[in-house]
Amino acid sequence: MVQLAIATGVAALATGLFLAPLSAELDDQAMHRALAIAQTTAVEPHLDDALKSSRPTRHGPVQKEAERIRDATGAEYVVIMDNRGVRWSHTDPDEIGRHVSTDPSVALSGKEVMQIDEGTLGRSARGKVPLRDEDGKVIGAVSVGIAYESVRGRLLSTVPELLVYAAGSIAVGALAAYLVARRLQRRTHDLAFSDISALLTEREAMLHGIREGFVALDKRGRIRLMNDEAQRLLDLCPEDTGRPLDEALPPGRTTDVLAGRVSGADLLAVSGHRVLVANRMPTDDGGAVVTLRDRTELERLGRELDGTRGLIDALRAQDHEHANRLHTLLGLLELGLHEEAVEFVTQAVGVHRATAEQVTERIHDPLLAALLVGKATVATERGASLSLSPQTDLPDRLVDPHCLVTVLGNLVDNALDATVGKRDARVEVELRADGRTAVVQVCDNGPGVPEGRRAEIFTEGWTTKEAPSHGGRGIGLALVRRLAERYGGSVTVGDRDGGGAVFTVTVPDALAEEIGASTREPSGRVGHTDAAVTGRRDHARGTHHADRAAGAAEAPDVPGGGR
């Protein structure tokens, strides 16, 4: 209806704009015609002589000539007057001999006049010209009028034709409006404008209120819409709307998943330090809608659960081992073999103390030291040995120790997983400082990594291990690479001499500036309050504190991963 009203209004406006100049043009034509008739009458031969030699009567020669011209031209009137303004001819003979009703001074002064005016015969288009004798002297004037009603009639006679054209235009506009309305209804699923507005408001509230990330892409891969959560998870800003996805996001698996270059459901991706689960749904227009769920906390809790389960298994094994040792100690005491009992206790406690002392002498950061003591205990329970490289020496000047805890924990877990079931399984760790750069190297004697798959193992979601019940695998090595790249470093994998794999991670600017040996020594030795260092104090408490160090090592957030 709105479109039809617009079409009708446009047609009416076009008709009015056409009629207005047409009316003016017809009036102008009528005035020029009246003027032409008056000019022709004024040059009639002998008219000036008749005006001089006769009198103004109804049967005079001037009246006869004027009526002849009026009948021949179809004019409304032809009035001939003398230089006093007295009529010598008129359509009403009773008006002959009287003064004209309008001012004749302009025509009597020798000028021609065209106008629309009111006279005794009503409104007419008039033309007035001076009447001259043979010497060119003005002796009178000729006034010719064409009735205005005839002009209006000519105008009105064109209105039906114009209305036909206008009606045709309106009909075409109505048909076009109907077709457009039907197409619009199909595209909007027969929703009214008020319904569309309400849906848009509800959609905006829903998109920005849900705690899942939402990204809509068009068929060209440009970001069409995204909510606040998607901006937070992908580190985007509102100005990125409308940009191609490959320009708004850095290259990597996350971009490939969102762009549809990686297919599947519940795909894992790493954005910064966040672990995301992405699902992509294509749309009818060639675009796609991507939903993102933040699973960072779930992954952290899952890894903590794995660590807790491993710790429980280790404690159970240690409990069984300690029970056997206590039974052995009790038997030695009952047999009176006191010296053998002292030697047995000293040997058992010395193993744990030696491990803690070896770690804390070379690694002066308490978090990394506690992690390695705990991982050594876990490795022992899994039938493997965890040792430090002779080149290991890491001062207590780490800017972000939690980053290296995550890196080292994931690499050690992967190394232990790679050596499961192997006799004489060994894992060697090397931590050293190269200026302000921290270098982490973990090698194992497992099956190694084929050269063709060394780039693939750092991809999110890639794993050779069975997924646990709480979530997916294949996150650990991806996090290691992402953390190293965030600090401008790198991670590489190579072959170990004698078989196995070597993972090397470099983290630039990981250590603060050195402030002198006098301040470094206390922080490396005396400053440690972890249970592993406290275990040096006496033999009777050594085993207890070593076990506490093993438990403390599982406390940090160390997400695992797998080759």
Question: The domain spanning residue 400 has which CATH number?
Answer: 3.30.565.10
Tell me: do 270 and 313 sit in the same domain.
Answer: no
User: Residue 29's CB: how many other CB atoms inside 10 A?
Assistant: 14
Domain boundary residue among 113, 138, 154?
Answer: 154
User: Residue 6's CB: how many other CB atoms inside 10 A?
Assistant: 12
| Residue 278: predicted pLDDT | 86
User: Residue 386's CB: how many other CB atoms inside 10 A?
Assistant: 26
Tell me: do 46 and 93 sit in the same domain.
Answer: yes
Domain boundary residue among 264, 294, 324?
Answer: 294
269 forms bridges with which residues in the sheet? 276
Contacts 24+ apart (CB under 8 A), 107-115: 107/141, 107/142, 107/143, 108/83, 108/138, 108/140, 108/141, 109/138, 110/138, 112/35, 112/38, 112/39, 114/31, 114/32, 114/34, 114/35, 115/31
User: Residue 65's CB: how many other CB atoms inside 10 A?
Assistant: 19
CATH number of 237's domain: 3.30.450.20
- Measuring CA to CA, which residue among 395, 477, 469 is closest to residue 439? 395
CA distance linking residue 18 with residue 2, whole number of Å: 24
Domain boundary residue among 294, 327, 349?
Answer: 294
Contacts 24+ apart (CB under 8 A), 101-110: 102/126, 102/143, 104/128, 104/141, 104/143, 107/141, 107/142, 107/143, 108/83, 108/138, 108/140, 108/141, 109/138, 110/138
Using a cut of 0.85, tell me whether the model's pTM lies above it. no
For the chain, what is the radius of gyration of the CA atoms? 54
Under the banding of pLDDT at 50, 70 and 90, the label for residue 150 is low
Domain annotation covers residue 60: yes
Distance of CA 111 to the CA centre of its chain: 76
For the ranges 281-285, 467-471, 511-515, the maximum mean pLDDT occurs at 281-285
| Residue 151: predicted pLDDT | 53
> 507 and 404 in contact (C-beta within 8 Å)?
yes
> Measured between alpha carbons, how far is residue 532 from residues 318, 325, 381 in Å?
17, 21, 18
Domain annotation covers residue 165: no
| Residue 229: predicted pLDDT | 85
Domain annotation covers residue 187: no
Between 155 and 64, residue with greater pLDDT: 64
Q: What is the mean pLDDT of residues 101-117?
A: 86
Tell me: do 458 and 513 sit in the same domain.
Answer: yes
Under the banding of pLDDT at 50, 70 and 90, the label for residue 480 is confident
Phi/psi for 82 (5° steps) reads -85, -175
**Percent of the chain at pLDDT exceeding 70:** 79
Residue 522 scores a pLDDT above 60: no
Phi/psi for 153 (5° steps) reads -65, -40
125, amino acid identity? A
| Residue 121: predicted pLDDT | 61
Q: What is the mean pLDDT of residues 257-263?
A: 84
CA distance linking residue 8 with residue 340, whole number of Å: 115
- Measuring CA to CA, which residue among 498, 386, 389, 412 is closest to residue 447? 498
Question: What is residue 319's three-state secondary structure?
Answer: helix
User: Residue 382's CB: how many other CB atoms inside 10 A?
Assistant: 18
Residue 235 scores a pLDDT above 50: yes
CA distance linking residue 275 with residue 34, whole number of Å: 95
| Residue 348: predicted pLDDT | 65
Domain annotation covers residue 199: no
Residues 201, 204, 206, 209: is their CA dihedral positive or negative?
negative
| Residue 345: predicted pLDDT | 74
Between 246 and 463, residue with greater pLDDT: 246
Domain annotation covers residue 409: yes
Domain count along the chain = 3
Under the banding of pLDDT at 50, 70 and 90, the label for residue 462 is low
Residue 298 scores a pLDDT above 50: yes
Residue 141 scores a pLDDT above 90: yes
86 forms bridges with which residues in the sheet? 99
Kindly state the helix (H) or strand (E) to which residue 494 belongs, with its residue range.
strand 490-495
Under the banding of pLDDT at 50, 70 and 90, the label for residue 314 is low
Residue 322 half-sphere exposure toward CB, CA atoms < 13 A: 11
Q: What is the mean pLDDT of residues 518-546?
A: 34
Tell me: do 125 and 217 sit in the same domain.
Answer: no
Report which DSSP code applies to 240.
G
Range of 120's domain? 2-154
Under the banding of pLDDT at 50, 70 and 90, the label for residue 536 is very low
Tell me: do 346 and 385 sit in the same domain.
Answer: yes
Q: What is the mean pLDDT of residues 195-206?
A: 79
Domain annotation covers residue 47: yes
Averaged pLDDT of the chain: 77
CA distance linking residue 321 with residue 61, whole number of Å: 155
Domain annotation covers residue 185: no
Domain annotation covers residue 188: no
Tell me: do 370 and 467 sit in the same domain.
Answer: yes
Tell me: do 344 and 452 sit in the same domain.
Answer: yes
Segment among 269-273, 345-349, 402-406 with least mean pLDDT: 345-349
Q: What is the mean pLDDT of residues 346-369?
A: 74
Distance of CA 118 to the CA centre of its chain: 72
Under the banding of pLDDT at 50, 70 and 90, the label for residue 13 is confident
- Measuring CA to CA, which residue among 176, 136, 252, 265 is closest to residue 486? 252
- Measuring CA to CA, which residue among 487, 490, 473 is closest to residue 561? 473
350, amino acid identity? G
Tell me: do 372 and 239 sit in the same domain.
Answer: no
Tell me: do 424 and 443 sit in the same domain.
Answer: yes
User: Residue 227's CB: how many other CB atoms inside 10 A?
Assistant: 21
Under the banding of pLDDT at 50, 70 and 90, the label for residue 321 is low
Note the pLDDT tens digit of each residue in 68-98: 998 998 888 899 998 888 999 988 888 888 8
Between 50 and 536, residue with greater pLDDT: 50
Tell me: do 460 and 311 sit in the same domain.
Answer: yes
Tell me: do 401 and 365 sit in the same domain.
Answer: yes
Residue 394 scores a pLDDT above 70: yes
Tell me: do 319 and 445 sit in the same domain.
Answer: yes
Residue 468 scores a pLDDT above 50: no
3-state SS of 172-224? HHHHHHHHHHHHHHHHCCCCCHHHHHHHHHHHHHHHHHCCCEEEEECCCCEEE
